């Protein structure tokens, strides 16, 4: 139904390999890292991000750290910047990193929804 591919001049993204009928579940996954959507940058937030990243498997950590970072900052805030670049709503008042869903390219004219 979809494939992870490299897009020239962009990053890796999920791309449909076929027409997807309306109401088809595209994917279902749990976030690997979660924080409050409105959490301000703070030492506590950075520590939470570090603890969650340390708990990831080596493959999950590699994929997370390979995600795009629009801030391209120093390594001290890299995980937080990757999170802020890629996080999606995951629960009421929470955002999360999803290994597949965060690779979906999106536009303002929604043609898929989270449920």
**Structural domain count of the chain:** 1
Give this prediction's pTM.
Answer: 0.75
Residue 37 domain flag: yes
- d(C-alpha 55, C-alpha 52), whole Å: 5
Residue 115 domain flag: no
Residue 113 domain flag: no
Can you give 18-87 as a three-state secondary structure string?
CCCCCCCCCCCCCCCEEEECCCCCCHHHHHHHHHHHHCCCHHHHHHHHHCCCCCCCCHHHHHHHHHHHHC
Q: Which domain holds residue 74?
A: 30-107
Question: Residue 43: which of 75, 71, 67, 77 has the closest Cα?
Answer: 77
Question: Residue 52: which of 68, 28, 35, 76 has the closest Cα?
Answer: 35
pLDDT of residue 8: 80
pLDDT of residue 109: 47
Residue 23 domain flag: no
| Binned average pLDDT, 10 residues per bin, the chain of 115 residues | 81 84 90 90 90 95 88 73 88 90 66 59
């Amino acid at each position: 139904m979809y494939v992870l591919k490299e897009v020239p001049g962009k990053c890796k993204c999920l791309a449909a390999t076929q027409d997807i009928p309306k109401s088809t579940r595209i994917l279902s996954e749990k976030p690997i890292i979660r924080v409050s959507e409105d959490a301000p940058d703070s030492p506590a937030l950075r520590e939470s991000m570090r603890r969650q990243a340390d708990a990831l498997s080596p493959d999950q950590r590699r994929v997370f750290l390979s995600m795009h970072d629009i801030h391209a900052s120093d390594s001290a805030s890299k995980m937080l910047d990757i999170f802020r670049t890629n996080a999606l709503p995951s629960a009421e008042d929470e955002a999360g990193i999803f290994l597949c869903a965060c690779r979906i390219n999106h536009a303002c004219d929604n043609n898929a929804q989270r449920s």
